Amino acid sequence: MYSRPRLIPCLSIQDRGLVKTTKFTNPRYLGDPINAVKIFNGKGVDELCILDITATSENRGPDFEYLKDIASEAFMPLSYGGGITTLSEIEKLFYIGYEKAIINTSFVTKPELIKEAVEFAGSQSIVVSIDVKNELFGKKSCYINDGKTKVKHDPVTLAKRAEELGAGELLLNSISYDGTMKGYDLDLVKDVSESVSIPVIACGGAKDIYDFKRVLEDGKAHAAAAGSMYVYYGAKKAVLITAPEEQELIDIGIYKQN
């Protein structure tokens, strides 16, 4: 038996297309998300995170019709974030086959939604997403509204608040590292992970499985999510939907024998 920290492909969607951003900007179209899901089915990934990156800034809710199509093809647990503002939307998300709802903007603008959602579904199904940008002089600022609106609280303060409201997990995403494939912001991940008792999923910057190992061990993350390394191949970033082999993860010690 092996202990297996979760390694999660994070797929960004825009206008029903699979895209990848760099620092939350310049989305590059990569193809059909459903085709990517079908490929991941055969790769044995732990779970899949779907993020609609323009739902909130376009002032619309989740595209349930399309999300249902995605869920119908997925063999692994699914989480979804983007444009969630009401409990009824969360209920519908679970009804069509998603296990977790990811909430970012509404966590700040209507925190009572987190409490309501936890009462309805349990903390294990409610994830708060915290998007962080590195500013001048080492300051780390948090953003909502698809990374467009700065909020006054720092990442640790928001993480503690999410835990107080009952969220079961945090998705900690570095805007500054997103799509750069230069490794995770280990200081950010460690600071947040050590400030709360709920699991922290690190996202933003992973290039390879060694980055997974670093963020899990040095960053104290509970799980590692990534976008680019699951959809790109090589220095020129050719589009290739892929995932690490289990033996690779055993060989470098991410999966450890109990």
- Which is catalytic among the residues 131, 146, 185, 211? 131
Q: CB neighbours (10 Å) of residue 151?
A: 18
d(CA 177, CA 185): 7
How would you classify the pairing of strands 149-150 and 140-144? antiparallel
Pair of tokens at residue 152: 């006054």
Could you tell me which residues are beta bridge partners of residue 103? 128
- The pairing of strands 200-203 and 223-226 is parallel
- For 48-57, letters b (16+ CB in 10 Å) and e give bbbbbbbbbb
Task: Clarify whether 131 is annotated catalytic.
Answer: yes
| Burial environment of residue 134 by CB neighbours within 10 A (0 to 12, 13 to 18, 19 or more) | middle
Catalytic residue annotation: 131
